[in-house]
Structure 1
């Protein structure tokens, strides 16, 4: 079986605050490390009342300090919001504190609405070449400093920080292929171009000093519980949150409900079926079949699993069930 990793948005459940969400993230990361997950990534989002990981490098430092072996990283840093040098310094600091454990995923979306994007950037100017240029500039800061070099990232220069390109379209796939970098696709919320992006990335990949062969990781929502019915109930928190966001009413992660079908109109139902198509929800046997089918259909090299579950204990249990199934499938392979 291919490796499993975790994407954590550090959700703020109804009835809790950001501090509790971040403590939950640290606890989940320790749990994931013990269960054998490969990576624990956190994502940059702004102006979102239900997500606590806006200061992603700071949140990752908190998680990394409580773990010892699992790789930690950004999935991702929205590079248009930041100067490349500052990102290199932040992740260079993480790499200096936690050698050999830090990944840096880069995206070109704002991770926010236009109001927040303007507040961060002061203007929304730029051209289509900014993102590739900024990625290349950032990677240069991780190269060993040369004699007489006027500008360097400290910490950062000479440190091993693998850079990933993130995307939800073929744009990121083309860039990752051209630069010879690993690629992560956001199929957990934007599955439309998943297969086209995978084909584009693999066909155009150029080996580099950083990566000899293409490595594609796909996002997938997994909600596992002891029964199908309980998993479907837990999933209603994610469904409600997604609909609230798309309707312009973002908030904390709602409690699960028993009447989700009755709460949806045809448009909302169609929206969920489309955007959350890459979701595996159920008891152990349902998740086992769904996982095997997804890997076979996509040819992914790695899966980045996320699960928006209101109750922290249930979220830990979901990842525990998944890890157990993954281990069984690996032994049987």
Structure 2
């Protein structure tokens, strides 16, 4: 199976964090049964609609609830903690579940500062179709990155006066702790059978560092679809073989909702735009709405523009329609694997979506 799962532990409207976490454990067991390769959880903070704020803790719970599927983070943000703490946390999981743990790493702390300093007059590009894959215009993140609410939240994720080191140095420190070549010892962590991944949304430092260190790379089509091709190209161009990886290995993420009919799938996916709007407006992810709640929202032109790239690149439809769309994404990006994230209000619909997709993906 060349499909994997990315889960945010979404909290549905009217639901609870405890219920969302139980749903995540249930979905992980289903994903293992269906043959998905790995199950990653994201790191999100200050969002009433997302329960995955501590990926190491959640990954440990998932590992204990399953037996074979790889588990990990998509991603631990090294702007919020030190390389040592990440290695120790995931080394602890590996000690009890050896050979199944992925340490996915991102650089959101530094990335946020870069985006906030970007020129608001972002160069606009028209949407284009590349060999059947939609590449939308880039989204201007600078306004969101400068939002006062987000700036305040950023101060809560670090100790006062803390400074995030360069991302390349952080990755080198993670690798040194794992290999035992660091002057200090990470216990647990040293010698752990962790697979280290770098996640990136552009052709910038994350992609280059992953390639230069010979690490596998996860590119972000589901959040930053406009730059996915630049990201995978930059990674492959920078790649140097390592002891763990002889050739580049790329995973690409995608949003998908699958149902028995296209009409039903579009109904289940209706709340997605309202949910993305809450994130991009600076309010944070709201509890995931019902289709009826989403239908009642009055959309402005500004609202539609805010979420257009995300809606246009979500894969929604019957099993065959979505599988065909994902095959195009895999072919155009050259991905070795796809990381699928599905959010619906009702948990049973989410489980069924992954079931239908797995069946269609395995058929010729």
Asked if these proteins are the same fold (TM beyond 0.5), I'd say: yes
- How many residues are matched? 324
Task: Report how far residue 150 of structure 1 moved.
Answer: 5.7
Residue 222 of structure 2 corresponds to 188
Residue 168 of structure 2 corresponds to 132
The answer to whether the 8 Å contact 1:167/1:185 transfers is yes
Task: Report how far residue 41 of structure 1 moved.
Answer: 0.1
Deviations, residues 6-63 of structure 1 (Å, cap 9, x unaligned): 0000001111111111100000000000000000000111111111111111111111
Residue 46 of structure 2 corresponds to 47
The answer to whether the 8 Å contact 2:37/2:70 transfers is yes
Task: Report how far residue 285 of structure 1 moved.
Answer: 2.8
TM-score (norm 1): 0.92
- Secondary structure of 2:264's match? helix
Query: For structure 1, which runs of at least 5 residues remain unmatched after alignment?
Result: none
Say whether 1:197 aligns with 2:234: no
- Secondary structure of 2:13's match? coil
The answer to whether the 8 Å contact 2:280/2:306 transfers is no
Residue 292 of structure 2 corresponds to 257
Where do residues 145-160 of structure 1 align in structure 2 (5 Å cutoff)? 151-160=184-193
Residue 209 of structure 1 corresponds to 243
TM-score (norm 2): 0.84
Deviations, residues 77-96 of structure 1 (Å, cap 9, x unaligned): 00111011111110000000
**Whole-angstrom CA distance in 2 between matches of 1:226 and 1:258:** 22
Deviations, residues 179-209 of structure 1 (Å, cap 9, x unaligned): 1111101210111111111111112211111
**Whole-angstrom CA distance in 2 between matches of 1:174 and 1:259:** 40
Of the structure 1 ranges 152-161 and 65-74, higher mean CA displacement relative to structure 2 is found in 152-161
Residue 8 of structure 1 corresponds to 7
**Aligned partner (choices 138, 148, 154) of residue 117 of structure 1:** 154
Residue 99 of structure 1 corresponds to 98
Deviations, residues 108-159 of structure 1 (Å, cap 9, x unaligned): 10499322221121347647x62111111111111147xxx86211111111
The answer to whether the 8 Å contact 2:34/2:358 transfers is yes
Q: 1:201 to 1:258 in 2, by over 3 A?
A: same
Where do residues 11-22 of structure 1 align in structure 2 (5 Å cutoff)? 11-22=10-21
The answer to whether the 8 Å contact 1:224/1:319 transfers is yes
Of the structure 1 ranges 31-40 and 197-206, higher mean CA displacement relative to structure 2 is found in 197-206
Task: Report how far residue 292 of structure 1 moved.
Answer: 2.3
**Whole-angstrom CA distance in 2 between matches of 1:276 and 1:94:** 36
CA RMSD of aligned residues (A): 2.0
The answer to whether the 8 Å contact 1:233/1:258 transfers is no
Deviations, residues 245-294 of structure 1 (Å, cap 9, x unaligned): 21233321111138749732223223322134432101123213212222
Task: Report how far residue 170 of structure 1 moved.
Answer: 1.1
**Aligned partner (choices 207, 220, 224) of residue 258 of structure 2:** 224
The answer to whether the 8 Å contact 1:189/1:278 transfers is no
Say whether 1:246 aligns with 2:280: yes
Query: For structure 2, which runs of at least 5 residues remain unmatched after alignment?
Result: 113-148
